[in-house]
């Protein structure tokens, strides 16, 4: 009654339902993308595992025959039966070992496919998702998830499958052999009690396992935060503080693991007690049958062997449940991540941009906020005719970079429209849009690779001559010449071995090499010293000639020649016009210009290029 209630309860059905859903995910995420050859190999491996389990399940029959013939005095048959028994046991073990070898290759292929698929999906997630996560968190989610799936695959092939085959064989033998029904029902009752106790134990373990794993992940987070800030830690001599907080975080994890181990040990003891009772009771019943002459000595051996054989798989099933539960916990975050829609799903446009050459950009009533409660752009209207340059200037935080991010499709507007050559960018595929646009961002992050690899990343098919020309335009040649390994210099993680200005030159060279139809320069030269900036500015002007360009700049002197200048204020365009016109109007632009002039940051005639470092606060 209790058992029936247990298995019919709503939570149990709910769990079955979620297991069904996960199996669906397993099929979709792992099985379907597998190549035919890998599937066949996995099926072959599973077939061999099942064969091994079947042989193991039948082996006690040979032992029973041996005992019966020994007691009956027919030695030769007994010897044959013993040899068969040993051969069966040996074969089933040998199969297991051989299969492990073949399985290793399939499982590694599973892992490779999963890593690739998971990282491809993660890369395709919207920009905002990446900004919201802590560095390293996504990589950890993927690694844990792949480990979890691998555990579950191991458990399915090496535990669940042999369990089904072995139990099936054992049941078939016990039902066909002449074992009294009373003994079978005692055995079945013990197996069910064992199953339920185990199931409850697993639930208790699961909660403490989660707490322990969470504490561990937090401790790892504290440690990686310390490493990521190593420069600050050293400069403030705070090593001891960081070490202590790392130690405390890991100690919290340690206490949680102690609790988990105690629960596992208690459950193990309880299960051993049930097993001992089951074995003892069944063997006593069998002994009574033998004493009453209703069962042969071989039958007694058979019962003993099969009690062990039933409990063995049930125990292994317990291990499997533990593996699956831990696997599910490990994959939980990856499964959630894989369910998040990628950029292409959120921006399902498929159109391409016809023609070649510069694109006309039209922005109408563009509205956007990162947070719906806090709008950043309040209805922007701008156009850049094909081949012209528009400069956007304004205070820090007024929304200039946000505008650039919307143009590249990194975020989707809340309202209004952006059109390239009359085509709404929401109708374009992201590949078509981003192939046409090149961006020089405020902060350039580089790949942990050589300078050459970083530059050629923009256009892998570019010739050496094209690459060198792009480097010349960006003033990168001088940087390369000064490096001992020239183009083969590895720039360090995120490009940390280069100065800000050097990285910016790589970014400019990349944009030039890409030959875009729309160029976005987001304070592209802000990290350069004034003299270098001026040299690169004129090269950039050459490169931008004939390319539609949107320049975001703080230093107004760098954009005075733009075809049009728009002044942005609190997410609105406050003024628009050419430099001279805006200056004459005496509005916000003129005020900014004069403020920079006073700070020596603007050059008001061509002959006095006395510019200093521009602190962003100079505009505020
Ligand atoms: N990823 C983000 N999530 C939430 N808010 C953001 C995000 N990026 C920027 N903001 C906010 O949006 C506003 C506009 O930022 P934006 O970077 O567009 O300004 P900006 O004009 O380019 O500034 P700066 O000249 O300093 O680069 C700011 O208030 C900023 O805090």
pLDDT in tens, 351-361: 888 888 899 99
Task: Give me the mean pLDDT over the 115-122 stretch.
Answer: 90
Residue 594 counted as domain residue: yes
Task: Give me the mean pLDDT over the 611-616 stretch.
Answer: 30
β-strand 389-394 against 564-569: which pairing, if any?
A: parallel
Q: What is the pLDDT of residue 414?
A: 92
pLDDT of 171 > 60? The answer is yes
Q: Whose CA is nearest to atom 6 of ligand 1?
A: 370
Measured from the Cα of 442, ligand 1's closest atom is 27
Q: Whose CA is nearest to atom 19 of ligand 1?
A: 397
Distance 426 CA to ligand 1 centre (A): 22
Q: What is the pLDDT of residue 9?
A: 62
Residue 316 counted as domain residue: no
Owner of token pair 């074992």: 179
Distance 126 CA to ligand 1 centre (A): 17
Among residues 589, 585, 586, the alpha carbon closest in space to that of 573 is found at 589
- Confidence band, pLDDT 50/70/90 cuts, at residue 564: very high
For a mutational test of ligand 1's pocket, the pick from 380, 397, 411, 571, i.e. the residue with the most ligand atoms closer than 8 A to its C-beta, is 397
Q: What is the pLDDT of residue 226?
A: 86
Name the percent of the chain lying above pLDDT 70.
90
pLDDT of 6 > 70? The answer is no
- Looking at the fold, whether 43 and 147 belong to one and the same domain comes out as yes
Distance 401 CA to ligand 1 centre (A): 7
Q: Which tens digit of pLDDT belongs to each residue from 56-80? A: 888 888 888 888 888 877 888 889 9
H/E element holding 246? Answer: helix 239-291
| Protein residues whose CB sits closer than 6 Å to any atom of ligand 1 | 131, 370, 376, 396-402, 442, 616
- Looking at the fold, whether 250 and 392 belong to one and the same domain comes out as no
- Looking at the fold, whether 194 and 173 belong to one and the same domain comes out as no
Let me know the angle formed at the C-alpha of 357 by 352 and 359, rounded to the nearest 5 degrees.
65
- Looking at the fold, whether 377 and 451 belong to one and the same domain comes out as yes
β-strand 564-569 against 518-522: which pairing, if any?
A: unpaired
Q: Whose CA is nearest to atom 10 of ligand 1?
A: 370
- Looking at the fold, whether 408 and 556 belong to one and the same domain comes out as yes
Q: Whose CA is nearest to atom 5 of ligand 1?
A: 370
ipTM value, please give it. 0.96
- Looking at the fold, whether 136 and 201 belong to one and the same domain comes out as no
Number of Cβ atoms within 10 Å of the Cβ of 132 = 10
- Looking at the fold, whether 553 and 571 belong to one and the same domain comes out as yes
For a mutational test of ligand 1's pocket, the pick from 402, 441, 521, 616, i.e. the residue with the most ligand atoms closer than 8 A to its C-beta, is 402
CA-CA distance, 295 to 286, in Å (whole number)?
8
Q: Cβ distance 379 to 390 under 8 Å?
A: no
- Confidence band, pLDDT 50/70/90 cuts, at residue 296: confident
Distance 297 CA to ligand 1 centre (A): 85
Residue 49 counted as domain residue: yes
Residue 264 counted as domain residue: yes
Distance 554 CA to ligand 1 centre (A): 14
Domain count, the chain: 3
More confident residue, 570 or 17: 570
Q: Whose CA is nearest to atom 18 of ligand 1?
A: 399
Give the residue from 126, 144, 177 where a domain finishes: 177
Residue 461 counted as domain residue: yes
For residue 169, the enclosing domain spans: 35-177
For a mutational test of ligand 1's pocket, the pick from 400, 413, 552, i.e. the residue with the most ligand atoms closer than 8 A to its C-beta, is 400
Q: What is the pLDDT of residue 613?
A: 28
Write down the mean pLDDT value for the chain. 82
pLDDT of 202 > 80? The answer is no
Q: Whose CA is nearest to atom 3 of ligand 1?
A: 370
Distance 400 CA to ligand 1 centre (A): 8
The CATH number assigned to the domain holding 423 equals 3.40.50.300
Compute CA 10 distance to the chain's CA centroid, rounded to the nearest angstrom.
33
Report the range of poorest mean pLDDT among 33-47, 387-401, 419-433, 557-571.
33-47
Number of Cβ atoms within 10 Å of the Cβ of 312 = 17
Which long-range contacts (C-beta less than 8 Å, at least 24 apart) are formed by 315-322? 315/271, 315/275, 316/159, 316/162, 316/163, 317/159, 317/160, 317/163, 317/195, 317/198, 318/198, 318/202, 318/271, 319/155, 319/159, 320/155, 320/159, 320/160, 320/163, 321/198, 321/199, 321/202, 322/202, 322/205
Give the residue from 294, 317, 352 where a domain finishes: 294
Q: What is the DSSP letter of 365?
A: E
Listed in order, strand segments (DSSP E) in 472-516 are none
- Looking at the fold, whether 404 and 500 belong to one and the same domain comes out as yes
Task: Give me the mean pLDDT over the 355-384 stretch.
Answer: 92
Give the residue from 133, 151, 177 where a domain finishes: 177
Please, how many CA atoms are within 13 Å of residue 325, restricted to the half-sphere of its CB? 21
Q: Whose CA is nearest to atom 24 of ligand 1?
A: 396
Q: What is the pLDDT of residue 301?
A: 82
Q: What is the pLDDT of residue 608?
A: 31
- Looking at the fold, whether 126 and 66 belong to one and the same domain comes out as yes
pLDDT of 16 > 80? The answer is no
pTM for the full model? 0.75
Report the range of poorest mean pLDDT among 106-115, 246-255, 308-317.
308-317
Distance 256 CA to ligand 1 centre (A): 41
> By CB neighbour count within 10 A (0-12 exposed, 13-18 middle, 19+ buried), where does 385 fall?
middle
More confident residue, 38 or 470: 470
pLDDT of 541 > 70? The answer is yes
Q: What is the DSSP letter of 608?
A: -
Q: What is the pLDDT of residue 474?
A: 83
Q: Which tens digit of pLDDT belongs to each residue from 205-246? A: 777 887 887 788 788 888 888 887 887 888 888 999 999 999
Task: Give me the mean pLDDT over the 144-164 stretch.
Answer: 86
Q: What is the pLDDT of residue 393?
A: 92
More confident residue, 242 or 304: 242
Distance 503 CA to ligand 1 centre (A): 22
- Per this entry, what is the length of the chain? 620
- Looking at the fold, whether 227 and 166 belong to one and the same domain comes out as no
- Looking at the fold, whether 87 and 195 belong to one and the same domain comes out as no
Distance 433 CA to ligand 1 centre (A): 23
- Looking at the fold, whether 430 and 553 belong to one and the same domain comes out as yes
Task: Give me the mean pLDDT over the 553-561 stretch.
Answer: 85
pLDDT of 267 > 80? The answer is yes
Residue 75 counted as domain residue: yes
Residue 4 counted as domain residue: no
Q: Whose CA is nearest to atom 17 of ligand 1?
A: 401
Q: What is the pLDDT of residue 369?
A: 93
Task: Give me the mean pLDDT over the 249-269 stretch.
Answer: 85
pLDDT of 345 > 50? The answer is yes
Please name the residues in contact with 209: beta carbons below 8 A apart, sequence gap of 6 or more.
260, 325, 326, 329
Distance 95 CA to ligand 1 centre (A): 62
Residue 309 counted as domain residue: no
């Amino acid at each position: 009654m209790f058992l029936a209630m247990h298995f019919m309860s709503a939570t149990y059905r709910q769990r079955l339902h979620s297991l069904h859903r996960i199996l669906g995910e397993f099929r979709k995420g792992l099985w379907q993308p597998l190549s035919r050859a890998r599937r066949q190999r996995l099926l072959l491996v599973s077939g061999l595992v099942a064969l091994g389990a079947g042989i193991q399940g039948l082996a006690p029959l040979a032992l029973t025959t041996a005992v019966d013939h020994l007691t009956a005095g027919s030695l030769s048959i007994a010897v044959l039966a013993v040899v068969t028994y040993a051969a069966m046991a040996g074969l089933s073990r040998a199969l297991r070992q051989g299969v492990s070898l073949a399985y290793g290759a399939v499982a590694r292929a599973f892992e490779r496919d999963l890593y690739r698929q998971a990282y491809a999906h993660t890369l395709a997630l919207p920009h905002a998702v990446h900004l919201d996560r802590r560095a390293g968190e996504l990589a950890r989610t993927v690694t844990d998830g792949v480990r979890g799936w691998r555990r579950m695959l191991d458990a399915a092939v090496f535990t669940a499958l042999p369990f089904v085959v072995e139990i099936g064989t054992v049941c078939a033998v016990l039902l066909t052999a002449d074992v009294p029904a009373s003994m079978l029902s005692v055995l079945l009752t013990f197996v069910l009690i064992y199953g339920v106790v185990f199931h409850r134990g697993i639930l208790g373990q699961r909660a403490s396992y989660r707490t322990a794993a969470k504490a561990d992940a937090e401790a790892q987070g504290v440690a990686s935060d310390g490493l990521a800030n190593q420069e600050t830690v050293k400069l403030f001599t705070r090593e001891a503080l960081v070490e202590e907080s790392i130690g405390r975080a890991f100690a919290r994890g340690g206490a949680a693991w102690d609790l988990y181990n105690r629960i596992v040990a208690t459950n193990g003891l309880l299960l051993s007690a049930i097993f001992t009772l089951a074995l003892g009771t069944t063997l006593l019943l069998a002994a009574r049958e033998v004493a009453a002459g209703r069962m042969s000595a071989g039958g007694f051996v058979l019962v003993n062997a099969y009690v062990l054989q039933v409990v063995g798989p049930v125990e292994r099933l317990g291990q499997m449940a533990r593996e699956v539960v831990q696997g599910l916990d490990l994959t939980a975050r990856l499964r959630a991540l894989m369910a998040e829609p990628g950029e292409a799903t959120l921006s399902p446009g498929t159109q391409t941009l016809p023609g070649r050459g510069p694109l006309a950009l039209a922005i109408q009533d563009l509205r956007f906020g990162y947070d719906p409660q806090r709008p950043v752009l309040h209805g922007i209207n701008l156009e850049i005719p094909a081949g012209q340059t528009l400069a956007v200037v304004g205070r820090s935080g007024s929304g200039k970079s946000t505008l650039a991010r919307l143009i590249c499709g990194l975020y989707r507007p809340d309202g209004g429209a952006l059109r390239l050559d009359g085509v709404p960018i929401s109708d374009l595929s992201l590949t078509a849009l981003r192939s046409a646009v090149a961006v020089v961002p405020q902060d350039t992050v580089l790949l942990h690779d050589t300078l050459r690899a970083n530059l050629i990343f923009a256009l892998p098919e570019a010739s050496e001559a094209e690459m060198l020309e792009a480097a010349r335009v960006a003033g990168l040649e001088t940087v390369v010449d000064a490096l001992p390994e020239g183009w083969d210099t590895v720039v360090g993680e995120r490009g940390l071995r280069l100065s800000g200005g050097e990285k910016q030159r790589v970014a400019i060279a990349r944009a030039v090499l890409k030959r875009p139809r729309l160029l976005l320069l987001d304070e592209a030269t802000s990290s350069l010293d004034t003299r270098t900036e001026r040299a690169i500015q004129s090269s950039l002007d050459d490169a931008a000639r004939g390319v539609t360009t949107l320049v975001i700049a703080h230093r107004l002197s760098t954009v005075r020649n733009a075809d049009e200048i728009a002044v942005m204020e609190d997410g609105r365009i406050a003024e628009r016009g050419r430099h001279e016109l805006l200056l004459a109007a005496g509005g916000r632009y003129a005020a900014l210009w004069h403020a920079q002039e006073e700070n020596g940051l603007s050059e008001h005639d061509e002959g006095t290029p006395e510019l200093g470092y521009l602190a962003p606060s100079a505009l505020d």
